[in-house]
């Protein structure tokens, strides 16, 4: 079981997660580009981020200096509708000005172990992420870090098998690598997440609570996920 950690968790209830996330990403990108000349963004999978990704082209930024990473990917063919990368391409990246070489795909179609090893290579020399986007599953999972699954946290990227959320085979960044970020934003919507949110708020060691960046995490959460 992934243990929780004592990181500052700031809760922001909003009925417009996409707008709230877009503003934060825009500010973080402006600062990173000014200070370091590049911006490294880790995308969340699942369905919640789609509305945000669809609005990303609104940003006025130097896309040529952006790098896109993925927090996790499902071991499916690249054109499978359930691929996290396909959702991101269809919603945003297909006509983005971000150089293709700076969109760092997890080659999960190769199988978990090969794809994890390849992502470790891609991440070599890459320091702290600027922004990490994450979702929350109804069981408290985040990325492809699921309850009860020991993740060899020594590696930055790991193969996941027997995931309870289909497909069973996945690739995920580890909690430690996801925590190596200047900003971590969780995007949480859907009444089905209410129990997971309540568990998180009472300190249960769910996988989402194992993400511990120095600056703490910000959870953009829809009203329906909050206990009444
Ligand atoms: C995945 C995601 C997963 C997702 C949550 C929330 O590959 O399934 O990375 O961690 O973020 O399950 O998914 P929804 O946004 O669809 O509720």
pLDDT, tens only, 72-87 = 999 999 999 999 999 9
**From first to last of its 228 residues, what are the pLDDT tens digits of the chain?**
445 577 899 999 999 999 999 999 999 999 999 999 999 999 999 999 999 999 999 999 999 999 999 999 999 999 999 999 999 999 999 999 999 999 999 999 999 999 999 999 999 999 999 999 999 999 999 999 999 986 656 799 999 999 999 999 999 999 999 999 999 999 999 999 999 999 999 999 999 999 999 999 999 999 999 987
Q: Which of 2, 21, 45 to mutate to test the pocket of ligand 1 (most atoms within 8 A of CB)?
A: 45
Give the global pTM.
Answer: 0.97
Point out the ligand 1 atom lying closest to the alpha carbon of residue 172.
Answer: 9
List, in sequence order, every residue forming a beta bridge with 186; answer none if it has no partner. Answer: 134, 219
Please give the distance, rounded to the nearest whole angstrom, from the Cα atom of residue 176 to the centre of ligand 1.
19
Domains detected in the chain? 9-225 (3.40.50.1360)
Distance set, CA 82 to CA 13, 71, 73, 74, 166 (Å): 28, 15, 9, 8, 9
Q: Is the CB of 142 under 6 A from ligand 1?
A: yes
**Residue 61 φ then ψ, to 5°:** -155, 165
Q: Is the CB of 84 under 6 A from ligand 1?
A: yes
Point out the ligand 1 atom lying closest to the alpha carbon of residue 142.
Answer: 10
Q: Is the CB of 113 under 6 A from ligand 1?
A: no
Q: Which of 2, 17, 44 to mutate to test the pocket of ligand 1 (most atoms within 8 A of CB)?
A: 44
% of the chain at pLDDT higher than 90: 93
Please give the distance, rounded to the nearest whole angstrom, from the Cα atom of residue 141 to the centre of ligand 1.
8
CA distance 50 to 86: 11
Distance set, CA 219 to CA 34, 37, 184 (Å): 26, 27, 8
Q: What does DSSP say about strands 66-70 and 39-43: parallel, antiparallel, or unpaired?
A: parallel
Report the run of H or E that residue 160 belongs to, with start and end: strand 157-160
Place of tokens 């699921």: 146
Please give the distance, rounded to the nearest whole angstrom, from the Cα atom of residue 134 to the centre of ligand 1.
8
Ligand 1, atom 7: nearest CA belongs to which residue? 45
């Amino acid at each position: 079981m992934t243990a929780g950690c004592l990181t500052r968790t700031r809760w922001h209830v909003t009925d417009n997660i996409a707008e709230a996330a877009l503003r934060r990403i825009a500010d973080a990108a402006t600062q990173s580009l000014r200070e370091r000349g590049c911006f490294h963004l880790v995308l969340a999978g699942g369905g919640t981020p789609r509305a945000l990704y669809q609005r990303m082209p609104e940003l006025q930024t130097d896309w040529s200096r952006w790098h896109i990473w993925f927090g996790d990917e499902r071991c499916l063919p690249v054109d499978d509708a359930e691929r996290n990368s396909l959702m991101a391409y269809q919603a945003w990246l297909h006509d983005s000005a971000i150089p293709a070489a700076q969109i760092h795909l997890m080659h999960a179609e190769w199988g978990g172990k090969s794809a994890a090893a390849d992502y470790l290579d891609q991440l070599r020399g890459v320091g702290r992420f600027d922004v990490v986007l994450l979702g929350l599953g109804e069981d408290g999972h985040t990325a492809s870090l699921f309850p009860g699954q020991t993740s060899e946290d020594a590696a930055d990227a790991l193969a996941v098998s027997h995931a309870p959320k289909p497909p069973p085979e996945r690739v995920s960044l580890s909690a430690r690598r996801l925590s190596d970020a200047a900003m971590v934003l969780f995007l949480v919507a859907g009444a089905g997440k209410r129990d997971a949110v309540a568990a998180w708020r009472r300190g249960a060691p769910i996988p989402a609570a194992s993400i511990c960046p120095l600056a703490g995490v910000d959870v953009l959460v829809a009203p329906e996920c909050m206990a009444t």
